[in-house]
């Protein structure tokens, strides 16, 4: 059956076909920054399966006074509202062959409430993010009319929330509002941040208040004033400018005493500098001011829409912006008297209530959409630039791939730079351990905000296992690094706490440098035992700026396989409390620039396997407390221009004459030459024990042959001469 909808207040067009259904009741809400929702009743004789197939399809509702608009639009005429069926309810009450259905009609935007996601947006402005999300979910008929400054957000997360909630809270936060404009076969989502971007009513703007309940114009208009907060103060912290005070405040322009003292303070303001902070505070105070003065009215003007500018004559600030409209209509004019039964027939009717604000007051949507709260820490995998093992910035931040991120490519674009908690963080001092690509880290969120991640810890997993096998090495702890790039080496501090095997192990893969500003004290073997072993494969250099003291309570052994060189700029003092033994396998050369003084408390014995040569630039003086004994296995040669004996002794040393020495004695004379010995006696010659010391082997002087043996010998003769030999024996 087809229904004639030409002269009806209500009409409907669906995919069932032209006039295949009749719209009987309509009630709906349309408000700025909210998807509209209309609840309707309609009747149709079409099969239920065909009606159920309407779910999600487009529908156009018509409501208002039927007729032409030859005199121009008035706002009273029947107007279209385009949307989609989001709900269908079948009634089992029949009106003849028709079945009554209830339905809900919503905009295309509403379907974003039926999809949720976890995804990351980086370096994009709110208008860009909103546009991307709309297109992603099939909403292409929209207009972005923002005129204000909307800087790119470094990092913005849609986290376990519907796409509608996500873009709604972003627009609320940024002061962007939206509304819908309707045509016969489509509706357009429009977004703006200024009242001037809203649309002007297409009908005449002279709309006087009549005060009549049955009037098609404005029937009632009330003006409402409400106490709002009179000042907004925000504060934030930026780690890149930690000493900057980012507190900002913005007072209201409304001159109401009770409002001026009502401050709203919030932290964090989510802005990096005071300039953006003032913008945020200004948005908040504009939000307060937008709801300070509102006008509530009733009318029969079906053409009213949220987001429409209209002029109402006879009031202050006649130019207003409609922010909300609640439509109501019913039309059972197709019913026969029989269909009404015992009830009185009701005339078709339409009316609405609306809310508007002065156009001069900027509209800002209230922040009613909550931001998701992350209820605890998560883990994530560190990622970075291809080819890198450690990817960080000047603050030691890293990037991660969250397990919930389906779109991330596990690279440097997977997240923003995320700060890493360290054990200490001072001005140029503290701890630093940069998580490496592939590590699993614990990520928390400042105040549960998914846009503000911070790394608080690290955990091992099956791919990255502990450095010391467990549970076998459960008593070991420490730090072990991995050489980068490529691995294969490590630096390590390991602590073994197993009872009886306690150990601290230190390993440097290459260099090990230690700097100590003052003292260093090391004690080895405090329990009475314990050795220290140092093995150096190459060179060792030790530089001591002042003194060096070494005390060895036991033996001291040094082995130098090659050359030893020692240079002492000052004096050298060596004290040996017992004996000293030196063994030199080769030669020994000593060069002394000054004097040599030796003091020997007992004997001094030198044994030389070959010759001894002494070259003295000046004199040699020897002093013996008792005697001096010189023993030669062959001969003794004294060479000098003069050899003198100084003292009371009767022995005088003469001079060299040719190949002979002449020796003069007190009472005799002795001459030696190559061929023999000649002794001339002047008065007499006497040898006694005190005068000449001879060893047990005696003294043998041979030229032609002379021999003197044993003890004392006295020779009493004025002169004698031997030609062939002389032997003298003791008495």
Q: What pLDDT digit, counting tens, does each position of 301-323 carry?
A: 999 999 999 998 878 889 999 99
* pLDDT single digits (tens) 220-254: 899 999 999 999 999 999 999 999 999 999 999 99
pLDDT of residue 568: 85
* Residue-range domain boundaries for the chain: 10-206+296-358, 228-289, 373-467, 656-728
Q: Using alpha carbons, select from 320, 235, 248, 285 the residue that is nearest to residue 32.
A: 320
Q: Using alpha carbons, select from 127, 169, 133, 175 the residue that is nearest to residue 151.
A: 127
Mode of pairing for the β-strands spanning 685-687 and 293-299: unpaired
Statement: residue 357 has pLDDT above 80: yes
Alpha-carbon distances of 25 from 42, 328, 562, rounded to whole Å: 7, 8, 112
Q: Taking residues 519-544, report their average pLDDT.
A: 88
- For residue 493, the cross-strand partners are 479, 506
pTM flag (> 0.75)? yes
Alpha-carbon distances of 403 from 400, 406, 464, rounded to whole Å: 9, 8, 17
Q: How far apart are CA 423 and CA 178, in angstroms?
A: 48
Statement: residue 199 has pLDDT above 80: yes
* pLDDT single digits (tens) 683-702: 454 544 444 444 444 444 44
Statement: residue 729 has pLDDT above 80: no
Q: Taking residues 474-488, report their average pLDDT.
A: 94
Q: What would the 3-class secondary structure string for 462-519 be?
A: CCCCCCCCCCCCCCEEEEECCCCCCCCCCCEEEEECCCCCCEEEEECCCCCCCCCCCC
**CATH homologous superfamily, domain 373-467:** Gp5 N-terminal domain (2.40.50.230)
* pLDDT single digits (tens) 69-96: 555 577 788 999 999 999 999 988 766 7
Name the pLDDT band for 180 (thresholds 50, 70, 90). very high
Statement: residue 704 has pLDDT above 50: no
* Residues, the chain: 731
Statement: residue 711 has pLDDT above 60: no
Name the pLDDT band for 337 (thresholds 50, 70, 90). low
Residue 136 near residue 181 (C-beta atoms within 8 A): no
pLDDT of residue 694: 45
Angle (CA) 270 271 273, round 5°: 150
Q: CATH for 10-206+296-358?
A: 2.30.110.50
Name the pLDDT band for 374 (thresholds 50, 70, 90). very high
Q: How far apart are CA 136 and CA 132, in angstroms?
A: 6
pLDDT of residue 508: 95
Name the pLDDT band for 682 (thresholds 50, 70, 90). very low
pLDDT of residue 347: 86
pLDDT of residue 216: 64
Statement: residue 722 has pLDDT above 80: no
Give me the CATH topology for the region 228-289: Light-harvesting Protein (4.10.220)
pLDDT of residue 460: 97
Cis amide leading into 3 (omega within 30): no
Q: Helices 163-174 and 126-136 meet at what angle, rounded to 10?
A: 160
Statement: residue 284 has pLDDT above 90: yes
Q: How far apart are CA 438 and CA 264, in angstroms?
A: 45
Statement: residue 585 has pLDDT above 70: yes
Statement: residue 725 has pLDDT above 60: no
Question: To the nearest whole percent, how much of the chain has pLDDT over 70?
Answer: 84
Q: What would the 3-class secondary structure string for 75-116 be?
A: CCECEEEEEEEEEEEEEEEEECCEEEEEEEEECHHHHHHHCE
pLDDT of residue 204: 59
Other Cβ atoms closer than 10 A to 6: 9
Identify the residue whose tokens are 């029949």: 94
Q: How far apart are CA 342 and CA 720, in angstroms?
A: 193
**SS3 state of residue 128:** helix
Name the pLDDT band for 356 (thresholds 50, 70, 90). very high
Q: How far apart are CA 136 and CA 130, in angstroms?
A: 10
**SS3 state of residue 135:** helix
């Amino acid at each position: 059956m087809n229904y004639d909808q030409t002269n009806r207040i209500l009409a409907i067009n669906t995919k069932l076909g032209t006039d295949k259904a009749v719209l009987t009741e309509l009630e709906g809400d349309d408000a700025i920054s909210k998807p509209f929702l209309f609840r309707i009743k309609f009747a149709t004789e079409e099969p239920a399966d065909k009606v159920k197939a309407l779910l999600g399809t487009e529908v156009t509702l018509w409501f208002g006074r039927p007729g032409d608009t030859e005199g121009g639009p008035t706002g009273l005429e029947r107007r279209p509202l385009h949307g989609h069926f989001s709900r269908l309810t079948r009634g089992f009450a029949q009106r003849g062959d028709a079945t009554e259905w209830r339905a809900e009609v919503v905009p295309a935007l509403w379907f974003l409430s039926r999809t949720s996601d976890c995804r990351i947006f980086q370096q994009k402005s709110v208008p860009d993010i909103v546009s991307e999300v709309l297109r992603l979910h099939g909403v292409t008929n929209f207009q972005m009319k923002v005129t204000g400054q909307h800087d790119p957000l470094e990092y913005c997360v849609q986290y376990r929330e519907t796409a509608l909630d996500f873009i709604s809270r972003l627009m609320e936060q940024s002061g962007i509002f939206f509304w819908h404009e309707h045509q016969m076969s489509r509706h357009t989502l429009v977004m703006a941040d200024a009242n001037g971007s809203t649309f002007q009513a297409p009908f005449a703007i002279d709309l006087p208040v009549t005060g009549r309940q049955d009037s098609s114009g404005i029937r009632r208009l009330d003006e409402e004033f409400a106490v709002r907060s009179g000042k907004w103060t925000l504060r934030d912290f930026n780690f890149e400018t930690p000493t900057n005070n980012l507190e900002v405040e913005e007072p209201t322009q409304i001159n109401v005493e009770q409002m001026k003292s009502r401050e709203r303070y919030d932290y964090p303001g989510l802005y990096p500098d005071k300039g953006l902070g003032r913008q945020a505070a200004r948005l908040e105070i504009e939000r307060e001011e937008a709801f300070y003065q509102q006008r509530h009215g009733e009318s029969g003007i079906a053409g009213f829409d949220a987001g429409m500018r209209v002029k109402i004559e006879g009031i202050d600030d006649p130019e207003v912006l409609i922010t909300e409209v609640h439509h109501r209509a019913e039309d059972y004019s197709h019913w026969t008297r029989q269909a009404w039964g015992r009830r009185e027939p009701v005339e078709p009717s339409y009316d609405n209530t609306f809310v508007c604000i002065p156009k001069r007051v900027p509209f800002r949507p209230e922040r009613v959409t909550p931001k998701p709260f992350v209820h605890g820490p998560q883990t994530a995998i560190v990622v970075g630039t291809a080819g890198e093992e450690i990817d960080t910035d000047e603050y030691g931040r890293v990037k991660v791939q969250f397990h919930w991120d389906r779109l991330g490519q596990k690279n440097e674009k997977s997240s923003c730079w995320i700060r890493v908690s360290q054990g200490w963080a001072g001005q140029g001092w503290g701890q630093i351990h940069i998580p490496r690509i592939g590590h699993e880290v614990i990520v928390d969120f400042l105040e549960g905000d998914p846009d503000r991640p911070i790394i608080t810890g690290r955990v091992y997993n099956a791919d990255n296992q502990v450095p010391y096998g467990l549970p076998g090495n459960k008593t070991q702890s420490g730090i072990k690094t991995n050489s980068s790039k490529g691995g294969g080496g490590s630096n390590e501090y390991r602590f073994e706490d197993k009872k009886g095997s306690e150990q601290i192990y230190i390993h440097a893969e290459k260099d090990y440098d230690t700097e100590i500003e003052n003292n260093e004290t090391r004690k080895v073997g405090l329990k009475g035992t314990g050795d220290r072993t140092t093995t150096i494969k190459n060179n060792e250099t030790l530089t001591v700026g002042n003194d060096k003291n070494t005390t060895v309570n036991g033996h001291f052994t040094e082995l130098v396989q090659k050359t030893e060189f020692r240079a002492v700029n000052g004096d050298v003092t060596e004290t040996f409390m017992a004996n000293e033994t030196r063994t030199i396998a080769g030669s020994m050369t000593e060069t002394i620039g000054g004097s040599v003084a030796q003091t020997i408390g007992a004997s001094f014995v030198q044994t030389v396997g070959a010759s001894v040569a002494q070259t003295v630039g000046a004199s040699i003086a020897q002093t013996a407390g008792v005697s001096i004994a010189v023993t030669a296995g062959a001969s003794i040669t004294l060479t000098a221009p003069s050899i003198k004996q100084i003292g009371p002794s009767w022995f005088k040393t003469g001079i060299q004459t040719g190949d002979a020495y002449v020796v003069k004695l007190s009472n005799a004379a002795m001459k030696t030459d190559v061929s023999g010995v000649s002794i001339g006696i002047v008065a007499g010659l006497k040898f006694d024990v005190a005068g000449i010391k001879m060893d047990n082997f005696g003294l043998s002087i041979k030229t032609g042959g002379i021999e003197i043996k044993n003890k004392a010998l006295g020779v009493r003769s004025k002169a004698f001469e031997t030609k062939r030999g002389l032997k003298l024996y003791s008495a």
